[in-house]
Amino acid sequence: EVQQTLTEEEILNESEQAFNERMEWWREAKFGLFIHWGPYAVPAGVHDGQEIEGIGEWIMDRAEIPVSEYEEYARQFNPEQYDAEEWVKIAKDAGMKYIIITSKHHDGFGLWDSEVSDYDAVDFAAIEQDLLADLKKAADKHDIKLGFYYSIMDWHHPNAQAPHYPDYNTDEKSNPNFDQYVENYMKPQLKELVEKYDPAVLWFDGEWIPEWTHEHGVETYTWLRQMKPDLIINNRVDVGRQGMQGMNEEGGEFVGDFGTPEQEILESTREFDWEACMTMNDTWGYKKNDDNWKSAETLIHNLVDIASKGGNYLLNVGPTAEGLIPQASVDRLAKMGDWMEVNSEAIYETERLQHSFKEGENIRYTKQKGDSVFYGILLEQPGETISFSVLRPDEGSEVKLLGYDEPLKWEFGEDEGLALQVPDEVRENTDFGPAWVFKVQG
C-alpha cells in the first residue's frame, strides 16, 4: 500500500479517525512478547565472580564496569543457538500478536549491522548473521508484527551519557555533545532500523536523561512518522512519562501513541491507550540465578486484568547469550497458549467496560468490539453459583463457559445481576481455569 507523506502539522494534529485506524491492529492484539537481549546476557548477573543485584541488563551500571571491560562481554556475545523462527513460534503459540525486541539497550550495543557504529553484533561480536533480519523474516512468515525497542540513553557513546564514559572510576566528564549524538548517531540508526526492517512499532526508553527534551521528542516523533506514517511510537519518545506508572503527566501536550506502565497494571481503565510491560521473574535481561518466576496462573490473570481495563500486555523474556529463551519462560508461555486456545475470544478485539468490576472482586469483564457479546471472567475456582453484577443476558439467550459444551442455567435479579449455576464437573475440574470465561449475549 502506498503511504502518503504527512506534514508536521498533519502529524501533530492527527484526526481521531486517522489515529484509530493507525492503532487498530495494536488495540486488537492485546498481547505481545518483549525481548531484552544483548551482551548483558553474557555475565548474566555475575561479574568478577560476584552476584550483582538488580536487573540484569543494568549490570554495566550496577557493577560500575568501565566501557573497555564491558566490551569484552560484547565480544563474547555469540548466539550460536539462536533460532528466530523458534522464538516467533513460542510467541505465536502463546497467543501473542507482536514482538518488541531491544535493537539497542542502554549499554549501546546494536543487534543489527549499523552503518554508523562498530559497536554492534556484526562488527564487534563478529556474528555473521543479521539477527534482526532473521527475526523479521520469521515474524512476517507467521503473521506476527515486529517492533524495536531503542534506548535514547547510551552508556557506550561518548556524546550520550558522560558519567559512564569511559570509566566509572573517574569523575571526569567528557564534555558530551548530546546533539551530535542525536543527529549523527541516534537518528541515522533509527533511519536504518525503519528502512531496513520496516518495524510496526518503535519503543523508546532511557528518555529520562536530562539532555533529552520535549523538543527532541516532538522532533523525533514527527520525523519518524514522516518516514513511516503508520508507525506506532510509545510515549517514552517524549518526556511526559510519570515514573513506573508510565502514563503521561496530566494536561501535558506530549507526543507518543500509548502509555507504558512498567511492572504494574493500572487500577482502572483510561482514555489514553496503554501497554503494561512486565517481567516473568525479576529481570528483563537474562540472569542465570534469577529463579523468582511468577506462576502461569498469575500471568494469565494479569492478561485478563489488563485486557479488561483496555490495555495491552507486553510480557518479557530474556534469552541467554547462546540465543535460548529460558525454559521456565517457554513453559509459562505454553500454558498461556493453552488457555488462549480456548479463551482468546474474550481477549482479542475486546473493549474495556468502564467501572465494571468492584475493588477486591475476583471478576473481570470484557466486551466484543462492536457486538453485544460480553464475557464475565472469574479469577478463582467457582463455587456452586456465581453472580456477575453487571451482566444482563437477552431473554432466552444461552450463557456458556468457554471450553464447556453445555449451556449453563441462569437467573437474573435486579440486585445481584446474573446468577449462574455451576455444574459439578466444572467445579471439580481445574482444567477450565485458571480464569473461567463465561460468555453472555445481551
Residue 386 is a binding residue for ligand FHN (CB under 6 A): no
Of the candidate residues 33, 44, 55, 67, the single one contacting ligand FHN (CB under 6 A) = 55
* Selected range binding ligand FHN among 43-51, 53-61, 165-173, 375-383, rule: CB under 6 A: 53-61
Is residue 312 within 8 Å of 275, Cβ to Cβ? yes
Residue 205 is a binding residue for ligand FHN (CB under 6 A): yes
Residue 277 is a binding residue for ligand FHN (CB under 6 A): yes
Binding mask 329-348 for ligand FHN (x = CB under 6 A): --------------------
Residue 262 is a binding residue for ligand FHN (CB under 6 A): yes
**Whole-number minimum distance, CB 38 to ligand FHN, in Å?**
10
- Residue whose CB is less far from ligand FHN, 71 or 205: 205
* Selected range binding ligand FHN among 13-21, 54-62, 247-255, 341-349, rule: CB under 6 A: 54-62
First to last CA, the chain: 39
Task: Considering only the C-alpha atoms of the chain, give the largest distance between any 2 of them, rounded to a whole number of Å.
Answer: 76
For residue 114, how far is the Cα from the chain centroid?
24
User: Which residue stretches of 2-65 are H helix?
Assistant: 8-12, 16-29, 59-62
Angle at 211 between CA 234 and CA 233, to 5 degrees: 10
Is residue 93 within 8 Å of 333, Cβ to Cβ? yes
Q: Scanning the structure block, which residue is given the C-alpha cell 441462569?
A: 410
Q: How far is CA 307 from CA 339, 341, 347, in A?
A: 15, 16, 6
Residue 258 is a binding residue for ligand FHN (CB under 6 A): no
Binding mask 210-249 for ligand FHN (x = CB under 6 A): ----------------------------------------
* Selected range binding ligand FHN among 51-59, 83-91, 213-221, 400-408, rule: CB under 6 A: 51-59
Q: Is 76 left (phi over 0), alpha (psi -120 to 50) or beta?
A: alpha
**Whole-number minimum distance, CB 299 to ligand FHN, in Å?**
17
Provide the b/e sequence for 259-270 (b: ≥16 CB within 10 Å).
bbbbeebbeebb
Residues that bind ligand FHN (CB under 6 A): 55, 57-58, 205, 262, 277, 284
